[in-house]
Amino acid sequence: MKNNIRVRFAPSPTGFMHLGNVRAALLNYLFAQQHKGTFILRIEDTDEQRNIQEATLQIFQDLRWLNLRYQEGCDAGGDFGPYQQSERKHLYDQVLVNLIELTRVYRCFCSPEILEEKRQQQIAAHKPPRYDRTCLHLSSDKVQRKLEAGLKFIWRFQFNNNQLLDMHDLAKGTITFDTQHFSDFAVTREDGSHTFIFANFVDDYLMRISHVIRGEDHTSNTALQLALYDALAVKAPTFWHLPIICNLEGTKLSKRDFGFSLGDLRKAGYLPEAICNYLAIIGGSFEQEIQGLDELVKNFNFSHIPSSSGIRYDVEKLTWFNHKWINKISNDDLCERIKPFLHASLPQSKTLDDAILSKLVEKVKSELHKLEDIAKLLGFYFQEPVRDNALLTLAMPQEKIEPAFEILRTTATQCSTKESFLSEIKSAAKTAGLSIKEIFTPLRFMLTGTTHGIGIQDLLEMLDFNVVQERILKS
């Protein structure tokens, strides 16, 4: 028996993917997978003036990168296409005809200027701004004369204002809307195109969407769309209005907040596994936080969803997840993901043997929080570091720096192997009254330009001994 669970992610290509988009796509995907249903990608591209040409392709690429695979969509096919709104006008026209026949829509000839003037008058009179149904009461003769005069019009939906409409929300249960608080809304524009409210409804209706999972900012749209379902006497889907993602101050996440854009996170080297993992558990309670998509499909509890109106995004927590995932994936996989970041910052790394790169990455992965960090962590391997002596004076007593330098220079000149060098500097440091830290800190500084990070044993394994000697003697 075919499963009737059908959900969709329906972005508009008017901008590029941000965390709110990603979370909506992710939760639709998890819901479909958990219920063995169908996950659909639909592109809502009817706003020609705001569409960005590259954005649609980027949506495809982003979902593939996130590993959120859809079964139906523009580039996947399916029985309910087309999957771009710009190709579905004939379907919207058919449903509009049905509403005309049911006398649930009427022509409205009021110009935008007249509507705005009425709106301002209502506000000034402390009344809720809503359409006053001027055109609903036009006689058929008046309508015909206006049409013959070439006046522009829109089709407007007629509410039944003595009705209660129920919406079932996965998080909040049943929510009832009293239609007396809503005014007749536009389903078309003057150019004959269809509004978002209407096109979105028709798509969900004809694509047999069973559950609509989208942002809480669409709740008011849902009330209008429930009226459309009711007018056609068809069952409305179940809804889940996702809480808005806020920053730590509690205000809606925006372009000013780092990580708002998925592109920013990709460029910084956040892994798709970490992003999905974090966005799935944010705002909830999970005994085990680190989970891949398969685990999330199994463990996400759609029966007990928090009903909060906002969830707070913490980039430090996301970075923690990223660090965990960097250390979770295989070293070979990590190396392949690191290469673009390493090559972009250090072109000389392009000729590095994969086996050597793997060994280098293994040494620094515990310090790696974002993939872009790799250039800073491994920069010393490819080029002699710039050393700022002020850093060293902050890390150890100044009077001990020169004695340590002298020991390191003398020992580097006398020894021919890393093993003998390491043994000798420890012995000489002890004789001079220096601690291991007071000899290792300046050595690390000479080799990497930093006073903390990679262990000395690892550094000596990573660098050829002749390079170690050269850098010590130049310091």
Angle, alpha carbons 209-239-216 (nearest 5°)? 125
Closest alpha carbon to 281 in 272, 270, 289: 289
pLDDT at 1: 37
Are 66 and 77 in contact, with CB atoms under 8 Å apart?
no
pLDDT at 2: 55
Q: Which of the listed residues 346, 368, 383 is the one where a domain comes to its end?
A: 383
> Residues 165-169: contacts with CB within 8 Å, 24+ apart?
165/223, 165/226, 165/227, 165/230, 166/226, 167/222, 167/223, 167/226, 167/236, 167/239, 168/238, 168/239, 169/238, 169/239, 169/240, 169/241
Residue with tokens 């479909």: 32
Bond into 11 cis (ω within 30):
no
Whether 302 and 379 share a structural domain = no
Whether 65 and 33 share a structural domain = yes
Burial 303-330 (b: 16+ CB within 10 A, else e): eebeeeeebbbebeebbbbbbbbbeeee
With a cut of 50, list the residues of the chain below it in pLDDT. 1
- Asked if residue 300 belongs to a domain, the reply is yes
Other Cβ atoms closer than 10 A to 351: 6
- Asked if residue 436 belongs to a domain, the reply is yes
Domain count, the chain: 3
Q: Which of the listed residues 313, 328, 343 is the one where a domain comes to its end?
A: 328
Q: Max Cα separation, the chain?
A: 110
Are 134 and 117 in contact, with CB atoms under 8 Å apart?
no
Whether 7 and 56 share a structural domain = yes
CA distances from 404 to 24, 164, 388, 437 (A): 57, 82, 17, 10
Whether 343 and 390 share a structural domain = no
Containing 296, the helix (H) or strand (E) segment is helix 293-299
Q: Which of helix, strand or coil describes residue 103?
A: coil
- Asked if residue 95 belongs to a domain, the reply is no
- Asked if residue 115 belongs to a domain, the reply is no
Whether 17 and 46 share a structural domain = yes
pLDDT at 284: 82
Burial of 367 (0-12, 13-18, 19+ CB in 10 A): middle
What are the counts of helices (DSSP H) followed by strands (DSSP E) for the chain? 20, 10
Number of Cα atoms under 13 Å in the Cβ half of residue 224: 21
Whether 379 and 411 share a structural domain = no
Spatial separation of the C-alpha atoms in residues 141 and 359, rounded to whole Å: 84
Q: Which domain holds residue 14?
A: 1-77+243-328
Q: Which of the listed residues 305, 328, 351 is the one where a domain comes to its end?
A: 328
CATH no. for residue 49?
A: 3.40.50.620
Are 171 and 241 in contact, with CB atoms under 8 Å apart?
yes
Query: pTM for the full model?
Result: 0.92
Please give the radius of gyration of the chain, using alpha carbons only, rounded to the nearest integer: 32
Whether 322 and 335 share a structural domain = no
CATH no. for residue 402?
A: 1.10.10.350
